[in-house]
Amino acid sequence: MSGRTGEIYRIAWFPGTDVLHGTCHCGAEHTAEDPVAMWDWMLAHPRGHDLPGDGS
């Protein structure tokens, strides 16, 4: 299948909370309550990983 990058993004949800914990394919980690913010952070790789106050 063409177009595959081999990049793996993981998001874990902590049951009983609104907390999501994401791990980018580069190994950077981030915690957020908003799923859109989580995907924005991941897809901004690597530019978005250094934002101040990003919860990492």
Domain ranges of the chain: 10-44
Q: pLDDT for 11-34, tens place per residue?
A: 999 899 999 999 988 888 999 999
pTM of the model: 0.68
Strand 10-13 vs strand 20-23: parallel, antiparallel, or unpaired?
A: antiparallel
Res. 48: pLDDT tops 90: no
Sign (positive/negative) of CA torsion 7, 17, 38, 31? Answer: negative
Please give the pLDDT value at position 43: 84
